[in-house]
């Protein structure tokens, strides 16, 4: 739908809504895709929800590392809830339109939560650095007040910048066509629909992506460089193995999230096809959050032990 406005003799056309093409090229598989994404979303809710519960109720997991993990799991649920429910509704109803305002809100929350995820991953890496490289100072540095402040900062630090960035993107003239060749609203496919020169906005998107993706990544890289150096100096093999095991889950999640997200936002627009963009976006918005509980459950003995204690209690209470 388009709105025509006549100003000073000029006939200007503005878009009131967009059409998300999504999976329009495979209409016969919409029912199957609905089932797949519903299962994925339920797995994300249950898996990350279970991690939140055990990090709250299990006494052995009342440490900064698991406090951050619980917050990260909650963030994953929020992050996927921005896109998947809308995707499921579109697949079920066959309706692919999204209003201009709803698209802007989706972009804004997607970016705010995505940046929070990048920053929280950096905080989690810093926590491991202090625990392994400065163990005697760990309780002093990572006290409860500092942990809460780091989580709040991760959630809030990008909010004003990303609201402004969203405003700049949606202040562009979208005069048609209104078809977004993507599964949800996101800057790269949106900019292809804008009229006129979008060079400055594209540069702005890349600069902000560099700021909130590259800086946390460099902090993570530096933290793990020092961690690895410290671990290799440990005299016992068992000590090295234990230290590496506490970091491996986090490193796996970092690789999955940063790998796919960086390709989408740091790659030049001309070098990215619509189909590869869809696959990569699906990967970091659905697959990584779904794998997060699996990675932490399989590669973390403390989480496995907590699950073994919690599940029999839950089954027993149901039977009673």
Total-model pTM: 0.84
- 209 pLDDT band, cuts 50/70/90, is confident
Stretch 89-115: mean pLDDT? 89
What per-residue confidence (pLDDT) applies to 312?
66
What per-residue confidence (pLDDT) applies to 108?
93
The per-residue pLDDT for range 29-64, each reduced to its tens digit, is 888 989 999 999 999 999 999 889 988 888 888 889
Comparing 14 with 93, the larger pLDDT belongs to 93
C-beta atoms surrounding 285 within 10 Å: 25
Residue 163 pLDDT exceeds 60: yes
Stretch 91-116: mean pLDDT? 90
Q: 17-304: what CATH class?
A: mainly alpha
Comparing 222 with 319, the larger pLDDT belongs to 222
The per-residue pLDDT for range 252-281, each reduced to its tens digit, is 888 877 776 666 555 555 555 666 667 777
Contacts for 272 with CB less than 8 Å, ≥ 6 apart: 188, 264
Determine whether 227 is exposed, middle or buried from the number of CB atoms within 10 Å of its CB (0-12, 13-18, 19+): buried
What per-residue confidence (pLDDT) applies to 147?
94
C-beta atoms surrounding 252 within 10 Å: 18
What is the C-alpha separation between 165 and 154, in angstroms, rounded? 18
What per-residue confidence (pLDDT) applies to 16?
74
Residue 6 pLDDT exceeds 50: no
Comparing 188 with 90, the larger pLDDT belongs to 90
Number of helices (H), then strands (E), in the chain: 14, 5
What is the C-alpha separation between 143 and 3, in angstroms, rounded? 55
Cα distances from 102 to residues 30, 97, 108, in angstroms, run: 23, 10, 10
- The order of strands in the sheet holding 97-99 is 97-99, 17-20, 179-180
Residue 10 pLDDT exceeds 50: no
Residues 296 and 121: beta-carbon distance below 8 Å: no
Cα distances from 178 to residues 12, 62, 130, 281, in angstroms, run: 15, 50, 50, 20
Residues 84 and 106: beta-carbon distance below 8 Å: no
**What are the CB-based long-range contacts (under 8 Å, 24+) for 221-227?**
223/122, 223/125, 223/126, 223/128, 223/129, 224/125, 224/128, 224/129, 224/251, 226/129, 226/133, 227/128, 227/129, 227/132, 227/133
């Amino acid at each position: 739908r388009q709105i025509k406005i006549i100003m000073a003799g000029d006939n200007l056309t503005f878009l009131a809504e967009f059409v998300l093409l999504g999976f329009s090229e495979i209409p016969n598989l919409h029912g199957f895709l609905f089932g797949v994404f519903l299962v994925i979303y339920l797995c994300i809710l249950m898996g990350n929800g279970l991690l939140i519960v055990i990090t709250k109720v299990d006494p052995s997991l009342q440490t900064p590392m698991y406090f951050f993990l619980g917050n990260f799991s909650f963030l994953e649920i929020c992050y996927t809830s921005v896109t998947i429910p809308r995707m499921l509704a579109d697949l079920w109803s066959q309706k692919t339109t999204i209003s201009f305002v709803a698209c802007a809100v989706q972009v804004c929350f997607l970016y705010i939560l995505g940046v929070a995820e990048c920053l929280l991953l950096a905080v989690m890496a810093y926590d491991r650095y202090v625990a392994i490289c400065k163990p005697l100072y760990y309780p002093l540095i990572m006290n409860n007040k500092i942990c809460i402040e780091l989580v709040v900062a991760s959630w809030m630090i990008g909010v004003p910048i990303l609201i402004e960035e969203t405003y700049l993107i949606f202040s562009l003239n979208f005069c048609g066509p209104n078809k977004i060749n993507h599964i949800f609203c996101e800057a790269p496919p949106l900019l292809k629909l804008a009229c006129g020169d979008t060079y400055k906005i594209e540069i702005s998107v890349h600069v902000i992506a560099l700021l909130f993706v590259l800086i946390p990544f460099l902090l993570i890289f530096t933290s793990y460089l020092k961690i690895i150096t410290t671990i290799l100096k440990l005299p016992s093999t068992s000590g090295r193995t234990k230290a590496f095991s506490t970091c491996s889950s986090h490193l796996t999640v970092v690789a999955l999230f940063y790998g796919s997200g960086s390709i989408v936002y740091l790659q030049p627009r001309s070098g990215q096809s619509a189909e590869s963009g869809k696959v990569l976006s699906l990967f970091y918005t659905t697959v990584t959050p779904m794998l997060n509980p699996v990675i932490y459950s399989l590669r973390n003995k403390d989480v496995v032990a907590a699950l073994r204690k919690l599940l029999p209690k839950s089954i027993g209470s149901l039977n009673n």
